[in-house]
């Protein structure tokens, strides 16, 4: 798929998305402040060409939760508000800022942590870091998470090679309507 076309779609949709969801962002930020005193979660992730960037999300776990992949975190770490935000996928809305800045795309491989060495090796060998990470993608809508690094990297590679404009919108719509569960906390 054409990089310029994707970047244009990403920019327009992220800008419009931020304008439309601004009231939700404000309300969740205020409620989140009362929930954890720190409603915004910023974490260094692996971006395109393995460059670091700061992923922005709403905090869904207690502030003292160890920085590990979601599948390694305890469900006890998730706050009551966080549980709702995860189920509704509202916790992902601040990533529209990452998309607007050109650090992420709507569709691409989910950005991993730098301490996920096995996943980094699997993705590196398949050229997954040649593209921007995404909010959603083929793996997420098929409930493939970071607990299976080889399968995830293979799925990411498959998506990158075959991505069309139709697929781009299909993955976004599937995610918005609740398909898959992405990176689950077990």
Per-residue pLDDT tens over the stretch 1-41 = 788 999 999 999 999 999 999 999 999 999 999 999 999 99
CB 145 within 8 A of CB 184: yes
Three-state helix/strand/coil letters over 102-148: CCCEEECCCCCCCCCHHHHHHHHHCCHHHCCCEEECHHHHCCCCCCC
75 falls within a domain = yes
Q: Is the pLDDT of residue 180 over 70?
A: no
Number of domains into which the chain is organized: 1
Count CB neighbours of 70 within 10 A.
20
Q: What is the mean pLDDT of residues 63-68?
A: 77
33 falls within a domain = yes
Which stretch of DSSP H or E encloses residue 18?
Answer: helix 3-36
- Judged by DSSP in three states, 156 sits in helix
Count CB neighbours of 150 within 10 A.
14
Q: How far apart are CA 57 and CA 157, in angstroms?
A: 25
185 falls within a domain = no
182 falls within a domain = no
147 falls within a domain = yes
Write out pLDDT tens, residues 45-60.
Answer: 999 999 999 999 999 9
57 falls within a domain = yes
95 falls within a domain = yes
Domain carrying residue 96: 3-176
Which among 10, 9, 5 is positioned nearest to 99, based on CA atoms?
10
CB 40 within 8 A of CB 94: yes
96 falls within a domain = yes
């Amino acid at each position: 798929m054409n990089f310029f076309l994707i970047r244009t779609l990403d920019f327009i949709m992220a800008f419009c998305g931020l304008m439309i969801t601004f009231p939700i962002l404000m309300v969740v930020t205020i409620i989140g402040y009362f929930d954890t005193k720190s409603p915004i979660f910023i974490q260094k992730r692996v971006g395109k060409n393995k460059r670091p960037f700061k992923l922005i999300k709403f905090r869904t776990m207690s502030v003292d939760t160890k920085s590990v992949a979601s599948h390694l975190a305890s469900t006890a770490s998730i706050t009551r508000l966080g549980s709702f935000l995860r189920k509704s996928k509202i916790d992902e809305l601040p990533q529209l800022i990452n998309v607007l800045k050109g650090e992420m795309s709507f569709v691409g491989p989910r950005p991993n942590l730098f301490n996920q060495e096995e996943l980094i090796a699997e993705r590196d060998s398949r050229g997954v870091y040649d593209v921007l990470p995404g909010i959603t993608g083929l793996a997420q809508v098929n409930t493939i998470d970071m607990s299976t690094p080889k399968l995830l990297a293979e799925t990411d590679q498959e998506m990158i090679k075959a991505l069309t404009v139709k697929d781009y919108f299909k993955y976004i719509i599937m995610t918005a309507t609740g398909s898959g569960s992405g990176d689950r906390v077990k």
